[in-house]
Structure 1
Amino acid sequence: MTSKIKKSARYLAVRDLTRIERESSYSNKVVDQTLESQLLLDHDVNLYTNLVYGTIQNKLTLDFYLKPFLKDPNKLDLWVKQLLRISVYQMAYLDRVPQHAIFNEAIEISKQMGHEGTRRFVTGVLHAIVRKGLPTVSEIDDPIKKISVQTSTPEWLVKKLNGELGKDKTDSLLKSTLQTPKQSIRINSRASSLAEVQDSLKKQGITANESRVSPSALVVHGGFIPQSVAYKSGKITVQDESAILSVESMKVKPDDQVLDVCAAPGGKTTQIAEKLTGTGHIDALDIHKNKLRVIQGNVERMHLSGSVTTRALDARKSGTVFSAETFDKILVDAPCSGLGLLRRKPEIKYEKNANDILKLAQIQLEILQAAAPLVKKGGQLTYSTCTILNDENQTVIDKFLAENSEFAQIKTETNLQLKQQRTELSLTLYPDDYGSDGFFIATLVKQK
């Protein structure tokens, strides 16, 4: 039983949830590592991923449910807390999972990871929940606290979004982040086509449907894309639909000289490189040397090495390496809070605070300031983030424009003309708009 339980979806979920919270690791990377290890049986993969993402997404709600049954939650070992969370998650959210399966494996895991005392404690808590029932969120009177618990979102973020978007949009947006994230891919236009990729994936049992966000994307169901033939041969890469739009909006031409100042992991770099079929070239920068290997690996896998040069460099120092007015197009896909990724990386909302946002906004402005002199007259500077807060988005652009009168903001356009009726020049996609990640894009032109 020992070896069997250690390969079970619940055991691995507890192990990985503990690691994610203790080490502040990204859940999607930890999940991918476990899937690649092939410890799980095929029929356990869905349960495992559901337990990991569902437990993180609903952590504050689960803690609200558990509070009446725990004298001092802060004294619990983290793995015990995670075991109780996944157990309550199954009881509250997974109707098809029988109670005896939840109890039996929770008790077995408590014995394997702990001792007899731990087993008795976990058993007692679970039986108490069954006897007394879970508390109800509807009993909460404070509207901010209620939506915070309902959507498992820190109260500071609920207040911030309420102030920017209003209560109705905030409620819709935050509730949408509790949904399972879609998996999407981008086609390498130099190597394949939508139809060819769909056919290739279908042969491996993977369904791929056209995207409502970008004509270069497919939304996929089933399978593990990095193990597909299409991925290994460089015909596709994993990329969220909304993340494709920043490069799409740049309208890159075959002979353009392009700079990607914050390039890792290379999704946008390779997307730009695909368009450089003439004399064009892209310089891809990242502050971390180890991340350059990831960029280069993606570039090589997609057969685009001839168009790309990578360099380890702090984006704020790009002017020390490149001459003024060198580039036709510059992409600043800035480091940000990542709060547009709450479906895919739900742990982010528990790790960030309001002060973090202000610090990031200053860094973002500094990167834009450093990139500005490198744009040719008539050239384009594109700024994008995967966050949905104004402080990191249009506010940064407004501050930049106030100090750089040679730049003008123009309307950001996408191939499918998303949100074309909006009055704003920038484009913001919220997680509830198309079911993609939240994303922001601003397009700036250097006047001649």
Structure 2
Amino acid sequence: MSGPRPRRPARARTAPSSPGAAVRVEAARALARIAFDGVSLRTALAEANPRIADPRDRALLAASLFEASRWWLRFDAALALLMDKPLPPKAREVRALLVVGLAQLAILELADYAVVASCVDAARALGQPQYAGLVNALLRRWMRERATLDARLDADPVAASAHPRWLIDAIRRDWPEQADAILAADNVEASLTLRVNRRRTTREALLDRLHAAGIEASAHDALPEAIRLAASTDVTRLPGYAEGAFSVQDGAAQHVADLLDLADGQRVLDACAAPGGKSAHILERAAVDLVALDSDAARLTRVGENLARLGLAADVRAGDATEPATWWDGRPFDRILLDAPCSATGIVRRQPDIKLHRRGSDVAPLAATQRRLLQALWPMLAKGGKLVYATCSILRAENEAVLAGFLDACDDARALPLPQRYGHAAGVGRQNLPGEGGMDGFHYAVLEKTA
């Protein structure tokens, strides 16, 4: 009887022969982790960046990862049309490399000869030289037959919109008249918006500094502290960043501070505070006694770092908002912000990997968590106080349904009407949809305690 066959030694990876190939190698490895392991895009990018020295190559890596994640469901479907049989699981980095190549050709519109040559070299550097010829052939075939392939892909709603079927169905159910616009907005890169720290500078002064540095920027018409940048950039290199003159925050999130109706001396709770953007905005707006709470102690480190850079201070606590006995001292709050954990379906344009990681089965457990948070936080609110309920979800099950159930069961709560500038009427709240006003999708509601 013969023994087990010896395993073939793993094929050694070789160094890429060109800088362009090195970027594709990192992009393929990172994208494989995003698509197959559930690693977040931002984590995968942060881990890959240190291995790329040239800032221009890091910019290409970021653009490639964002667009390949955004369009994965289209270009992975394209591979199925281009190949007689799928690649084996051991070739997952080659599969990711091909999606990167298609995104660079179709979305980033890079020179085809550079993309093909670098991807072929990258296949070898990934330790998969047997697929170098296939990579060359498939990318070239895509270029020759693109019109025909695009037509076939556009016939399938998932490939056409690059959204999972469950999310397409949910959007069409909840927002039938706006569904096509939402799907289109999700596939457009979000603009970069800054929030001026009014305790350190003024919007006019920061705009002057940006313009002097050659940065194209403009004031946001509807938000008093917001500045829009014409192009994405490394914000840590912008004038004013080191001294805490601004933070990065989408306009939809900046609306929350207005809804809190802040005043000096109030006691305020930010119940799900990490990474701290809204906590900082609250402190920039008024001299309040702020408790910044989050159940993830590790993420609170970032809250502290953000506040320190901005010259702000809060009582930062680790604790579960649904278990107040473990952290609350019994003193009521005048204002509570519940920026509830949610499906994040309103920020897909900013975090496109949500389309790969979120599942329809996640929504019901998230809604249950939102209900528990509301029920636990309400007794901590002072009479006459206000609780702002906000999510970056566009799904009615996480917004209208949660609030309606809470109000039906709570005798001392009433919803306050919100101005139309906060978006579409959505039960007792309002909903800004992705891309509207150049902002993310965000739901808002304000509840007042009457007794």
The TM-score, its normalising length taken from structure 2, stands at 0.89
AA aligned opposite 1:119: A
Choose the corresponding residue for 1:288, options 278, 281, 296. 296
* Cα 1:411–1:3 shift into 2, 3 Å: farther
In the alignment, structure 1 residue 113 sits paired with structure 2 residue 126: yes
Question: 2:11 is matched with which residue?
Answer: none
How far apart, CA to CA, are the structure 2 residues paired with 1:265 and 1:75?
36
TM-superposed CA distance for 1:274, in Å, is 1.7
Moved more, 373-382 or 289-298: 289-298
AA aligned opposite 2:450: Q
AA aligned opposite 2:343: S
Question: 2:61 is matched with which residue?
Answer: 48
How far apart, CA to CA, are the structure 2 residues paired with 1:374 and 1:244?
24
Question: 1:153 is matched with which residue?
Answer: 163
Residue pair 1:103, 1:126 contacting (<8 A) in 2 also: yes
* Cα 1:134–1:79 shift into 2, 3 Å: farther
How far apart, CA to CA, are the structure 1 residues paired with 2:51 and 2:261?
41
SS in structure 1 of the partner of residue 159 of structure 2:
helix
* Cα 1:329–1:40 shift into 2, 3 Å: same
TM-superposed CA distance for 1:121, in Å, is 2.6
Moved more, 129-138 or 102-111: 129-138
| Aligned positions of 1:17-416 closer than 5 A | 17-31=31-45, 37=50, 39-70=52-83, 71-73=85-87, 75=89, 77-95=91-109, 97-133=110-146, 135-139=148-152, 146-166=156-176, 168-220=177-229, 221-277=231-287, 280-305=288-313, 308-322=314-328, 326-413=332-419
The TM-score, its normalising length taken from structure 1, stands at 0.90
1:80-123: CA deviations, max 9, x gaps?
Answer: 1111011122333344x222111110111111112431212322
AA aligned opposite 2:385: G
Residue pair 1:207, 1:222 contacting (<8 A) in 2 also: no
Question: 1:446 is matched with which residue?
Answer: 449
Residue pair 2:25, 2:125 contacting (<8 A) in 1 also: no
* Cα 1:203–1:319 shift into 2, 3 Å: farther
How far apart, CA to CA, are the structure 1 residues paired with 2:426 and 2:124?
59
How far apart, CA to CA, are the structure 1 residues paired with 2:320 and 2:41?
26
How far apart, CA to CA, are the structure 2 residues paired with 1:119 and 1:111?
6
Residue pair 2:74, 2:153 contacting (<8 A) in 1 also: no
TM-superposed CA distance for 1:286, in Å, is 0.7
How far apart, CA to CA, are the structure 1 residues paired with 2:366 and 2:355?
15
AA aligned opposite 2:260: M
TM-superposed CA distance for 1:232, in Å, is 1.3
SS in structure 1 of the partner of residue 335 of structure 2:
strand
AA aligned opposite 1:301: R
1:268-290: CA deviations, max 9, x gaps?
Answer: 1111112332xx30001111111
* Cα 1:130–1:109 shift into 2, 3 Å: same
TM-superposed CA distance for 1:380, in Å, is 0.3
AA aligned opposite 1:59: W
How far apart, CA to CA, are the structure 1 residues paired with 2:262 and 2:374?
19
SS in structure 1 of the partner of residue 346 of structure 2:
helix
TM-superposed CA distance for 1:362, in Å, is 0.2
TM-superposed CA distance for 1:322, in Å, is 2.5
TM-superposed CA distance for 1:329, in Å, is 0.3
* Cα 1:30–1:226 shift into 2, 3 Å: farther
AA aligned opposite 1:287: S
Moved more, 37-46 or 70-79: 37-46
Moved more, 3-12 or 280-289: 3-12
How far apart, CA to CA, are the structure 2 residues paired with 1:421 and 1:101?
46
Residue pair 1:205, 1:223 contacting (<8 A) in 2 also: no
How far apart, CA to CA, are the structure 2 residues paired with 1:47 and 1:253?
45
RMSD of Structure 2 on Structure 1 (CA): 2.4
> Paired residues, what number?
435
Choose the corresponding residue for 1:435, options 414, 435, 438. 438
* Cα 1:38–1:131 shift into 2, 3 Å: closer
SS in structure 2 of the partner of residue 405 of structure 1:
coil
Residue pair 1:325, 1:377 contacting (<8 A) in 2 also: no
TM-superposed CA distance for 1:9, in Å, is 3.8
SS in structure 2 of the partner of residue 181 of structure 1:
coil
* Cα 1:140–1:235 shift into 2, 3 Å: closer
Q: Which runs of 5+ in 1 are unaligned?
A: none
How far apart, CA to CA, are the structure 1 residues paired with 2:171 and 2:39?
25
